[in-house]
Amino acid sequence: MQRSLIKRIAAISSSLALAFAATAASAADAHPAFKVDVTGTGAPIILIPGLASSGAVWDGTVAHYCGGGKHQCHVLTLAGFAGVPAIPGALLPAVERQLSDYIAANKFDRPVVIGHSLGGFVGMKLAADHPEQVGRLVIVDSLPALGATQVPSITSAQLKEMAAGMRTAMKSQDAASAEAGQLRTLRSMITKQEDIDRALAQGKQSDRDTVIDAMAELMGSDLREDVGRIKAPTLVLGTWIAYKDYAPKAAIASVYTTQYAKLAGARIEMADNARHFIMYDDPAWMYDRIDNFLN
């Protein structure tokens, strides 16, 4: 009798394990365009990293906001980035669509959305296309039309043509040239060597075609008109010191104010001591600005 009971318990345990595994697989299948790591309890904050970055870039942000019971962090890593399996087709529309579904499925009531770089663009697009789903939006060093920073008058058709040329050039590079170019870019975006090494490692784990296609998609897009549909209060955190040899702070700040002109009430602040990865270079400044914005 005892042996029979043990067998029944083992069978039930096995069934439960299979059920949990099936549930986890089903949850992942629901949003193959990104992986989510959840930390804490409370009002949801969705954090979206940038190109070829893992959600680990937000580790300090998660520790700051999601350890005290006030907020729950949902940290994304996009498909094809930092070891997450790539998906076929255009990545950014898939991320936006599936993130909207994720918010609806979890019954989030207008969560805070924070995005860095390419992640900021995704957050912008989500808030423009689904304004009822986003409560507050924080954009960390991203612009509505990145490809138009040098030539503001460039047309949408010209942006797409430029992006197509960039995609072709990047895909024709050999691996060594691509890696050298990535290192040069990261050195302009991040101050400390250990943070550069961390970002470089994430890039090496990323699918090259996905990274190139996502970058081209970003460069070929123009949301300068679309941001007018955003209803969420928006904080934009920009940077300028990496470009000080080419333009003064006022000129760079004017690019932000001009590109976000159609987003009513957008609060734009420029970091004086951080390059593109503000969460690495000056996290205290970033937290202070976001704290004031959320409170």
Mean of pLDDT values over 226-239: 98
Domain boundaries in the chain?
A: 1-26, 31-294
Q: How many angstroms separate the CA atoms of 70 and 43, rounded? A: 6
Other residues' Cβ atoms within 10 Å of the Cβ of residue 151: 11
Q: What local confidence, expressed as pLDDT, does residue 29 receive?
A: 65
Q: Residues with Cβ < 8 Å from 76, sequence gap 6 or more?
A: 34, 35, 36, 46, 47, 48, 49, 55, 95, 99, 119
Expressed in angstroms, the distance from the first to the final Cα of the chain is 62
Q: What local confidence, expressed as pLDDT, does residue 247 receive?
A: 93
Which CATH architecture fits 31-294? 3-Layer(aba) Sandwich (3.40)
pLDDT band at 53 (very low <50, low <70, confident <90, very high): very high
Residue 116: closest CA among 61, 188, 70: 61
For the segment 160-218, what is each residue's pLDDT rounded down to a tens digit? Answer: 999 999 999 999 999 899 999 999 999 999 999 999 999 999 999 999 999 999 999 99
Q: What local confidence, expressed as pLDDT, does residue 135 receive?
A: 98
Backbone phi, psi, residue 266, to 5°: -60, 130
Q: Which of 1-10, 184-193, 261-270 has the lowest mean pLDDT?
A: 1-10
